[in-house]
Amino acid sequence: MKLAWHAKLYIYLVFFIGIYILFYNIFSYPLKIDFLFMLILMSLALTSYFGEITIRYSFNFSSIWNAPVYFHYGFGPLFLIVFLETVIESIYYKKANIKMLFNIGQLLIANWGAHQLYQISKDYLSNNFFIHFIYFFLTFVILNTLLLASIFKLADMYTNKLILEILFLYSISLPIYGIVFAAFYTNPLQTVILVPTVLYFIRGQITRKLKMSFDDDKLENELYIYSRQYLFNYFNQDNSLTFPFWLTLIEYTQHAEFKNISDFAIYLRNLCGPQLFCRYTTNRILIISHSPLSERLHAAQIPFTNVKIENNSFNLESLLTDLEQKLNQVTRKSAKQREIALSNSVRLATIGQLAAGLAHEIRNPLTAVKGFLQLYSLGNKLDTETIQLMKTELNRINQLVTDLLYLSAPLNEPKNKEQHDLNQLVCEVAELLKPEFKTGVQLKLQLATLPPVAMDRNQIKQVILNLVQNALHAVSNSQGEVLLETVRNGPQVIVRVRDNGPGIPPDLQERIFDPFYTTKEYGTGLGLTICRQLINAHGGQIRIDSHPGRTLVEFTLPLS
């Protein structure tokens, strides 16, 4: 999995803090290197190899020597043991460098924190040495789990179940560690020699028991969801792979039918059959199959990407990185398609509203024109005022039809989109509307420094013109004021139109963008509807916030 930059930064931070603690403390405590300590180092290497248990993730008993070394030799040798332990594990199991760095920092910090807490609390503990061991072990477990939970969260792998399973593993290891700790203080030499051997023989039994307990995330229909760590171990250890096989990475998207990713996984199991499922991240599932799943997933309209593996010469980390990048492109394209489909469905619903509203809006002026023509057919002459009224009504019908044709067009990105100076456009609108200013009404400009904005100049000019005209119509007294403002807000610019008019009642604000809704005597009720469609086509948003004595209408435009 390709980690985000903040997750990598956190890993480096944990590593450097751990290394700082190591070098600051290792020379502050005496290093007693004797024959027994050298045997412990050898036993550590063997324990790392024989004590590895692979279930949903890897777990190792090499830290079994931490408490005996700490209580027998002190804090300095413990740090040396912890450092060597993580390096040896990483070499054995070919862990990625960044994983090794986090493991080193994580264990050093957790052991240092356990040491500090133990030093503060040891005088309050009973004289039973085993109680001291349990206290040290539990504080280490808590600190270590917190560090693991934090990186899981940053790496988008965190689940409550995962943390509970890690704590369960520690609860199983406590009696084993306790037996080794007690045996070490009874006969250290024999304990150091026997521990790797015993672990070698009981590792299989422990692994089987753990697999039966919680290795797999078992859902309905005998569905198991494995972890990413299991996936890597599956390919590293299983030499009997059958080729070709497919890796399919699938995106979980919110849907009313699926309450969570587990429901989605059950759906995939029914759709794809009994394959190997891996919970890749909190919202992605990886499927390993011996037949392509493309047709089924395409038919179900599920975002996915896959790769066919022909032979054993493949790099799993590289393949997964490529799958992630391709799926990111697929999900972006899928989201865009859903957005277009949604906008088209909204557009169709709007056309239905328009058809009903248009019939009503056109019938009234047509009735008036028809009446005048009937009078004319009876020999009555039409005066200039009547003819002008007829022209006005016909122009209104023409405007309604023009607006309807625009609103019924699909929502596509403007074709004449170029880089323009938005502030200059705002100034042009202000100059254009000067003749419409009522006596005493002021139009103020407050313009921020903006980079060029990609837009269709005429369309955005139409939006600003419409909004400012609405504001001018709203203010009627001599104290009326309209403020036209531009603001830069990160990756977008905002155009705001404020006025100190009477405001719009809350119940009417919900309908303000509906077709044919208007508070003006001669308005068509399509102006704000068209404004919203133009802004949406530019990838922006428009909203209104109105209270008695003030109204704000603003829209956003992306800078890129």
Amino acid 224: pLDDT: 52
| DSSP H/E element including 35 | helix 35-50
Cα 464 from Cα 461, distance rounded (Å)? 5
Q: pTM of the predicted model, to two decimals?
A: 0.43
Q: What is the pLDDT of residues 266-280, one digit of tens each?
A: 788 788 877 777 777
Amino acid 40: pLDDT: 82
The number of C-alpha atoms within 13 Å of 15 and in the hemisphere containing its C-beta is 16
Do the two domains 332-408 and 415-558 of this chain adopt the same fold? no
The architecture that CATH gives domain 415-558 is 2-Layer Sandwich (3.30)
Amino acid 221: pLDDT: 41
Angstrom CA distances, 134 to 179, 182, 303, 327, stand at: 12, 12, 49, 47
Both structure tokens of 97: 């460098």
For the chain, the domains span 11-40, 257-314, 332-408, 415-558
Q: What is the pLDDT of residues 414-435, one digit of tens each?
A: 767 889 999 999 998 888 887 7
Q: Which residue(s) pair with 248 in the sheet?
A: 287, 306
Q: Which residue(s) pair with 483 in the sheet?
A: 444, 498
Both structure tokens of 62: 């090499």
Q: What is the DSSP string of 337-397?
A: HHHHHHHHHHHHHHHHHHHHHHHHHHHHHHHHHHHHHHHHHTTPPPPHHHHHHHHHHHHHH
The architecture that CATH gives domain 332-408 is Orthogonal Bundle (1.10)
Amino acid 515: pLDDT: 64
Per run of 10 residues, the mean pLDDT along the chain (length 560 residues) is 72 89 73 78 73 54 81 81 74 65 86 90 85 90 89 74 75 84 86 81 68 49 55 62 85 71 79 78 82 86 88 81 85 70 61 60 72 78 79 73 59 73 90 75 88 88 86 77 89 91 78 64 66 85 87 88
